[in-house]
Chains A and B, each alone.
Chain A
Amino acid sequence: NAGVTQTPKFQVLKTGQSMTLQCAQDMNHNSMYWYRQDPGMGLRLIYYSASEGTTDKGEVPNGYNVSRLNKREFSLRLESAAPSQTSVYFCASRVLGNTEAFFGQGTRLTVV
């Protein structure tokens, strides 16, 4: 099993450009998450989807949109990238309830 797969692994954008980060999981998990990780800030939740068909804002949603395409896939879109969005982005998934989350390998995004 591949687990949680994110694409791309690295990306450089110019300010104002748009892009979509893709995430897919093959573990039949109900919930999926997008986090960003910045030095000294830990993992901060951007958006999440508790179950297929639902999405909710997390701690830092501004400048992002998400789509839960189906049970397997959850994408994160930057409509107009800003240097403040330079970060490492992690997708994660988990079964509903009090279970652990499994992470993808991350996307390192630089906005210049």
Chain B
Amino acid sequence: QKEVEQNSGPLSVPEGAIASLNCTYSDRGSQSFFWYRQYSGKSPELIMSIYSNGDKEDGRFTAQLNKASQYVSLLIRDSQPSDSATYLCAVNKSGYSTLTFGKGTMLLVSP
């Protein structure tokens, strides 16, 4: 099992819809979780961080964490064409100084 898994997509949603991006991780001791957005040809930029079970909301973005199921998700409400990008899930394992990234999910929002 890969350490951090994401569906590569593309995930296509119409403008105004909710986009749901999912990520699973293998190390049960993982403690911190991050969602990055990466536009084509650009560097990853942080959207959300989440550290405890439950939901964390920031504007149109909601991160959800379920440590028992080893699952983290990102919901984007009222999706806009400008949200079209690749979304990377990153996990920090307990005791490690490194972030492990999934391969990313490409999101396409059509007008």
Residues of A within 8 A of B (CB): 31, 33, 35, 40-43, 45, 48, 50, 56, 58, 90, 92, 94, 96, 98-106
Residues of B within 8 A of A (CB): 8, 31-32, 34, 42-46, 49, 51, 88, 90, 92, 97-104
B103, A40: Cβ atoms under 8 Å?
Answer: yes
Total A-B residue pairs with C-beta atoms closer than 8 Å?
49
A-B contact pairs, 15 of them (CB 8 A): A31-B97, A40-B8, A41-B103, A42-B101, A42-B103, A43-B88, A45-B100, A48-B98, A50-B97, A90-B44, A100-B34, A101-B99, A103-B43, A103-B44, A105-B42
**Option from A42, A58, A90 in Cβ contact (under 8 Å) with B43:** A90
A96, B97: Cβ atoms under 8 Å?
Answer: yes
Listed residue (B42, B88, B100) with the most chain A CB atoms within 10 angstroms of its CB: B100
A100, B98: Cβ atoms under 8 Å?
Answer: no
Kindly state the separation between the CA atoms of A58 and B98 in the bound complex, as whole angstroms. 9
Kindly state the separation between the CA atoms of A99 and B90 in the bound complex, as whole angstroms. 11
B98, A43: Cβ atoms under 8 Å?
Answer: no
**Option from A43, A48, A102 in Cβ contact (under 8 Å) with B46:** A102
A48, B102: Cβ atoms under 8 Å?
Answer: no
- When distances are taken between beta carbons in the complex, the residues of chain A under 8 Å from B45 are 103
Kindly state the separation between the CA atoms of A56 and B45 in the bound complex, as whole angstroms. 24
